[in-house]
Chain A
Amino acid sequence: MLHVNLRLSGGVLEEQAVISGALSVQELVIAAQAGDERAFETLVRTHADAVYGHALRFFGDAASAEDATQEVFVKMFRSLASFDGRSAFSTWLFRVTRNVCLDMARAGARRPIPTDPVDLVPPSVRDFADDVVLSRTVETAIRSLPPEERDALGAVTLFGMSYEQASTAFDVPVGTVKSRVFRARRTLAHLLEPAEGGA
Chain B
Amino acid sequence: MMDCLQAQTILSEAIDGAVDSDALSEARAHCEGCPECATFIRGSTCCPAQRYQEHRPPRR
Give the CA-CA distance A178 to B54 in the complex, in Å: 22
Nearest B-chain residue to A55, judged by Cβ: B58
User: Which residues of B33-52 are within 8 A (CB) of A?
Assistant: 39-44, 46-49, 51-52
Q: In the complex, how many residues of chain B place their beta carbon closer than 8 angstroms to a beta carbon of chain A?
A: 27
Q: A181-B16, A189-B44 are in contact. Are A158 and B60 (CB under 8 A)?
A: no
Main secondary structure of the interface of B (DSSP, over half): loop
Range for the number of chain A residues in contact with chain B: 35 or more
User: Which residues of A164-199 are within 8 A (CB) of B?
Assistant: 178, 181-182, 185-186, 188-193, 198-199
Nearest A-chain residue to B55, judged by Cβ: A53
Q: Which B residues lie at the A interface, using CB under 8 A?
A: 8-9, 12-13, 15-17, 39-44, 46-49, 51-60
Chain B residues, CB < 8 A from A189:
39-44
Q: A182-B12, A185-B40 are in contact. Are A52 and B46 (CB under 8 A)?
A: no
Chain A residues, CB < 8 A from B42:
189, 192-193, 198-199
* Cβ-defined contact, A182 with B39, below 8 A: no
Check A142 for interface membership: any CB of B closer than 8 A: yes
* Cβ-defined contact, B40 with A52, below 8 A: no
Cβ-defined partner of B58 (8 Å) among A66, A139, A157: A66
Check A7 for interface membership: any CB of B closer than 8 A: no
Q: Which A residues lie at the B interface, using CB under 8 A?
A: 1-3, 48-49, 52-53, 56, 62, 65-66, 69-70, 128, 131, 134-135, 138-139, 142, 153-154, 156-158, 162-163, 178, 181-182, 185-186, 188-193, 198-199
Give the CA-CA distance A178 to B56 in the complex, in Å: 27
Cβ-defined partner of B53 (8 Å) among A65, A157, A182, A191: A157
Chain B residues, CB < 8 A from A66:
58-60
Cβ-defined partner of B49 (8 Å) among A2, A48, A134, A198: A134
Give the CA-CA distance A158 to B9 in the complex, in Å: 20
* Cβ-defined contact, B52 with A182, below 8 A: no
Chain A residues, CB < 8 A from B49:
131, 134-135, 138-139
Give the CA-CA distance A157 to B53 in the complex, in Å: 7
Q: A153-B52, A157-B52, A158-B52 are in contact. Are A185 and B57 (CB under 8 A)?
A: no
